[in-house]
Amino acid sequence: MSGLPLHRRAGFRLSFRYLLAALLVIVFCFPVYWLFIISFKTPDEIFAFPPVWYPASLQFGNYWVLFKDGDAGTVWNSLVLASVSTFFAMILGTVAAYSLVRFKTGGENLAVWIISQRMMPPVAIVFPLFLLYVYFGWVDTYFGLIILYTAFSLPYVIWMMRGYIEDIPLELEESALIDGCSRWEVLWKVVLPMARSGLFATAVFTFIFAWNDFLFALVLTRTEVTTYTVQVTHYFGGQSNFWAKIAAMSVLGTIPVFITVAIMQRYLVRGISMGAVKG
Point out which residues bind another protein (CB under 8 A): 169, 171-172, 174-182, 185, 189-190, 193-194, 196
Closest contact distance (angstroms) between CB of 104 and another protein is 13
Shortest CB 100 distance to another protein, Å: 20
User: Least distance from C-beta 273 to another protein, angstroms?
Assistant: 17
Q: Which is nearer to another protein, 175 or 233 (CB)?
A: 175
Evaluate the omega torsion of the peptide bond into residue 121 and state whether it is cis, within 30 degrees of 0: no
DSSP 56-72: SS--THHHHHHHHTTTT
Between 185 and 224, CB nearer to another protein:
185
Instruction: Using the minimum distance from each CB to another protein, give the nearer residue, 189 or 270.
Output: 189
- Smallest distance from another protein to CB 198, Å: 14
* Whole-Å CA distances, 83 to 73, 87, 145, 238, 248: 15, 6, 12, 34, 22
Closer CB to another protein, 158 or 191, in the complex? 191
Distance CA 225, CA 234 (A): 14
Give the up-direction half-sphere exposure of residue 241: CA atoms within 13 A in the CB hemisphere.
8
CB of 189 to another protein, least distance (A): 8
Residues 91, 74 contacting (CB under 8 angstroms): no
Minimum Å gap between C-beta 171 and another protein is 4
List the beta bridge partners of residue 39: none
Closest Cα to residue 216, out of 119, 136, 151, 157?
A: 151
Greatest CA span in the chain, whole angstroms?
A: 80
Cβ atoms 2, 9 nearer than 8 A: yes
- Shortest Cβ distance from residue 176 to another protein (Å)? 7
The one-character DSSP state at 167 is T
H or E element at residue 203: helix 196-212
Residue closer to another protein, measured from CB, 140 or 166: 166
Query: Cβ closer to another protein: 195 or 252?
Result: 195
Cβ closer to another protein: 52 or 177? 177
